[in-house]
Structure 1
Amino acid sequence: MIVFDLHCEHGHRFEGWFRSSYDFEDQVARGLMMCPECGTQVVSKAPMAPAVPAKGNSLPERASQPQMQPQPVPAASKTGEQSVSNAPPPAEVQKALEALAQAQAKALEKSTYVGKDFAKQSREMHYGERDEAVIHGQASLEEAKELAEEGVPVAPLPFPVAPPEELN
């Protein structure tokens, strides 16, 4: 997974998690990206420094790392450019994200990945055309809106999920 700092044409900043840089570009090209604050679909990657993780399966202890204080983000300049920060999130935010990621992973343990067949299978379960089961997969924004309008109980996952065939 890769995390990009994103910004919209109105200067709103937010993060996006993607399988690859190509996945981000593909979502932009298909009109699937939008600013969570204002809804515009004019979204691009903000400049950011690369993060090179330490080798191994464990994270270094936070206490041993110098704590960086978040700096205020200046308002957009007259040219429309905006300063960006690559400071790590506050410890409370990082802890909440880790807990959310663990909760999603636990929920997906008992869920079956159905890929692009998600909307069809969700609809069939809702209308009693097939047995109910816990599933997850892919749906376009339009498909998700249609499911919601029909009353089909669906929810987006907080973090992207790689299809099983793409996992090593």
Structure 2
Amino acid sequence: MGPKQIEVLRHINRISLLHRLRVHNLLSDTGVWGSQIPVLLHVERNPGCTQTDIAEHLGVSSPSIATSIKRLQKAGMLEKRADEADMRRNHIELTERGRSTVARGRACYDQVVERMLRDFTGSEVDTLVCLLARLEENLAGDEYRGRTALSLAEAADRPAKSDGEEREHP
């Protein structure tokens, strides 16, 4: 790998980390992590959804969503309501605090993106989108094409399998 390729990789990694840090810093007093915002957004758009609905929509495992839901419940952002017909099934709703956190999360993401793209022209942003989409497509291939960012993060966090074992994908 040449110096230019290393420089591209370094910039991509730093941009991702800086974005995550900026969002985290803006939301730090809410007790919500940036990765929990998609859970809150899904519940906002689908009041009364189930844990399984959320996991399927985000392309992640049910246990990882269960952990997020428990943390968001403890933080006062979500509440569960038992299904009257099937007591094993819970419907998930935003609390008032959850609704205000979703609104704030949107504003934070907008602020970070605005800062990131400050001084770019419209055509530069268009070119950047095309270039980034090509990089993403090259890396995704058939194996990861169309997967959500959360499902990719979950897959990346799993330990690598030893020789001869294939990794499972949700």
Query: Could you state the TM-score of these two structures normalised by the residue count of structure 2?
Result: 0.28
The higher relative CO (CA closer than 8 Å, separation ≥ 6) is in 2
More helix by share: 2
More strand by share: 1
